[in-house]
Amino acid sequence: MKNKCLYIQTFGCQMNVHDSEQISALLSGIGYQQTDNIKLSDLIILNTCSIREKATHKVYSQLGRIGKLKEQNPELIIGVVGCLAQHLGTKFHRKEDCLDFVSGTQNIHLLPEIINTLIKDRKKITEIDFHNSLSAMNIFATPGKDRISAFVTIMQGCNNFCSYCVVPYLRGREISRTSKDIIEEIIKLVDLGIKEVTLLGQNVNSYGKNLNDGSNFTSLIKKIGEIFGIKRIRFTTSHPRDLSLELMNCFAEEEKLCSHIHLPVQSGSNRVLELMNRGYKIEEYTKKIDYLRKISPQISITSDIIVGFPGETVKDYQETIDMMEKIRFDSTFSFKYSEREGTAAQKLEGKIPEDEKLIRLEKLQMMQNKHTLEKNIELERSLQELLVEGESKNSKSDLMGRTSSNKIVNFRGEPDLIGKFVEVEISKAYLHSLKGKIKKSKEACIVY
C-alpha cells in the first residue's frame, strides 16, 4: 500500500500536543505518514483550541488558506479535532465548507474509521459524542526518533467549573486511567529510550478520584519513581485547591520528581477568585507556596494569571500585582480575560474595556519579566544538572539542556552528550534562557 501524507497542525496546550502525537500514531496504522509539507498532504487535520478568542481566530485563518489547497486537489481530506471542534460540532461544517470531518475531544480513537469511511464516500462526518471511555487515552504514541522525554496522559476532563473556562464542557468530566495502564505505557517508553515523562491532565491533583481503588496522584508518582530507567518526572496542570500536603511533600521525598510546579493562581484578589469559582483564597495559595519553598528550596514556581476579569476593580488588580511582588514567580503565562460562550463568567457584569485590559496586562508582564530575569540571575555561578535535549536553537555548535527546575540552558558541547545528564556551571542569565559551561572534562561532566 502506498503511504499517504498527513499534515497535523496543533493549537493550544500540551494535552493537544500529545493528542496530535496519538493521532499520528493511530493514522500510521492505516498508511498515513506525517509530513511537515502541507502542500504534499493527502489529509490535513487541525487540532483546535477554544480556550481564548485568539486561538479560535488562528484556526479560521488557517482553514481559509487550506480551503484553497482543496480547490487544487479535490481528493484532499480536511478535518478538525479538539476543543473548538467539540464546541461547534455540525456548525463547523456550515461555517467552513472545505471540512470533511469534525471530531470531538473524546473521539480520537475513531479517526481511522472516519478516514476510511470518507475515502469510500465523501459525505461530511461529525463525531462529538462523549464516550467517557479510556480508549483515546490508552493509544500508544511511539515517541519520535532521538526523543528523550515524552508526555503521558493520566486523566482527562475536569469537574471544577471555573466560571471562565470551557474545559469541563468540551473535555467532559474527570476520568483517570488505571495506574496499571500508565505504568505499562511508561515501561514501553523507557524501552524506547525515554528518560523523562510529563504526566498530563487538566487537573492531575485529582487523579484517581473515579477509580475507587485507593489510588491518588501521590501514589502514582511514587509507583512511577520505582520504574528503572525513568530519571525525571514532571506533571501539568495542578489546581491549587487540590494540592495536598502529601503531594507537596513528594517534592522533598521523591528524588525523580522535578523541582518545578506550575500552579495557576489566576488572581491575587479574593473577590475575583470567588467570581472565578476557584475554590481557594489567596492566603491559602501563598501558604502552599511558602511550604513548597521551605521543603524544596530549589523549586521553581510558575503560574497563569488572567487580567481584566469582569468586575476586576483597580484595587483587585493591585492585589494581583502585590501578590506577584510577594511571591515572585519564576515565570507566568498571563492573558487578558477572553469571554467564552456558555460559561458562567459570560453573564457577569462589569466587563472591562479591551484597552484597559491591555494596559493592565502590559504592566503586569513588565513586572514579571523583571522577576524572571532576577530569578535567572540568582542561578549564575551555580552548578546545574541538565538533561541534554538536543541542538541549541541559537547556534549549531551549542547544545540545549533543561534543569530540573525547567530552565533552558544552552552550552557548548558535542552531540554525543544528547540524551545524557551533564553538570554545567551557569555563566550568564537571560530572560528566556541561561548560558552554561561544562566545568570538567567531557567524561567527568556526564552525571549518568
Q: What is the SS3 assignment for 241? A: helix
Distance in Å, CB of 269 to ligand SF4, minimum? 17
| Count of helix runs (H) and strand runs (E) in the chain | 14, 19
The answer to whether 232 contacts ligand SF4 (rule: CB under 6 A) is: no
Cα–Cα distance measured from residue 308 to residue 23, given in angstroms and rounded to the nearest whole number: 36
Size of residue set near ligand SF4 by CB under 6 A = 10
Q: Which of 148, 154, 158, 272 is the binder for ligand SF4 (CB under 6 A)?
A: 158
Return phi, psi of residue 284, to 5°. -65, -40
Q: Which of 45, 59, 165, 434 is the binder for ligand SF4 (CB under 6 A)?
A: 165
The answer to whether 202 contacts ligand SF4 (rule: CB under 6 A) is: yes
Cβ atoms within 10 Å of 364's Cβ, excluding its own: 18
The answer to whether 162 contacts ligand SF4 (rule: CB under 6 A) is: yes
Q: Which three cell numbers stand for residue 188?
A: 514501553
Give the strand order in the sheet containing 43-48. Answer: 32-34, 4-10, 43-48, 77-82, 101-103, 125-127
The answer to whether 161 contacts ligand SF4 (rule: CB under 6 A) is: yes
Cβ atoms within 10 Å of 13's Cβ, excluding its own: 19
Q: What DSSP designation does 100 have?
A: S
Distance in Å, CB of 203 to ligand SF4, minimum? 5
Residue 239 or 262: the one with the smaller Cβ distance to ligand SF4 is: 239
Are the CB atoms for 177 and 155 separated by under 8 Å? yes
Distance in Å, CB of 167 to ligand SF4, minimum? 4
The answer to whether 333 contacts ligand SF4 (rule: CB under 6 A) is: no
Q: Which three cell numbers stand for residue 438?
A: 561544562
Are the CB atoms for 38 and 5 separated by under 8 Å? no
Tell the burial category of 383 from Cβ atoms under 10 Å away from its Cβ (0-12, 13-18, 19+). exposed
Return phi, psi of residue 254, to 5°. -100, 105
Distance in Å, CB of 420 to ligand SF4, minimum? 36
Distance in Å, CB of 14 to ligand SF4, minimum? 13
The answer to whether 167 contacts ligand SF4 (rule: CB under 6 A) is: yes
Q: Which stretch binds ligand SF4 (CB under 6 A): 116-124, 162-170, 224-232, 310-318?
A: 162-170
Cα–Cα distance measured from residue 345 to residue 278, given in angstroms and rounded to the nearest whole number: 12
**Residues 6 or more apart whose Cβ sits within 8 Å of residue 181:** 134, 138
Residue 163 or 218: the one with the smaller Cβ distance to ligand SF4 is: 163
The answer to whether 279 contacts ligand SF4 (rule: CB under 6 A) is: no
Distance in Å, CB of 238 to ligand SF4, minimum? 9
Cα–Cα distance measured from residue 388 to residue 380, given in angstroms and rounded to the nearest whole number: 19
The answer to whether 282 contacts ligand SF4 (rule: CB under 6 A) is: no
Distance in Å, CB of 267 to ligand SF4, minimum? 12
Distance in Å, CB of 342 to ligand SF4, minimum? 13
Which H or E run includes 93? helix 90-95
Q: Which stretch binds ligand SF4 (CB under 6 A): 90-98, 160-168, 374-382, 420-428?
A: 160-168
Distance in Å, CB of 188 to ligand SF4, minimum? 28
The answer to whether 168 contacts ligand SF4 (rule: CB under 6 A) is: yes
The answer to whether 60 contacts ligand SF4 (rule: CB under 6 A) is: no
Query: Distance from CA of residue 115 to its chain's centroid?
Result: 27
- Annotate each residue in 114-153 with x if it binds ligand SF4 (CB under 6 A) or - if it does not, as one string: ----------------------------------------
Distance in Å, CB of 125 to ligand SF4, minimum? 28
Q: Which of 14, 35, 138, 160 is the binder for ligand SF4 (CB under 6 A)?
A: 160
Tell the burial category of 37 from Cβ atoms under 10 Å away from its Cβ (0-12, 13-18, 19+). exposed
The answer to whether 210 contacts ligand SF4 (rule: CB under 6 A) is: no
Residue 177 or 239: the one with the smaller Cβ distance to ligand SF4 is: 239
Q: Is the dihedral of CA 119, 120, 123, 129 positive or negative?
A: negative
Residues binding ligand SF4 (CB under 6 A): 158, 160-162, 165, 167-168, 202-203, 239
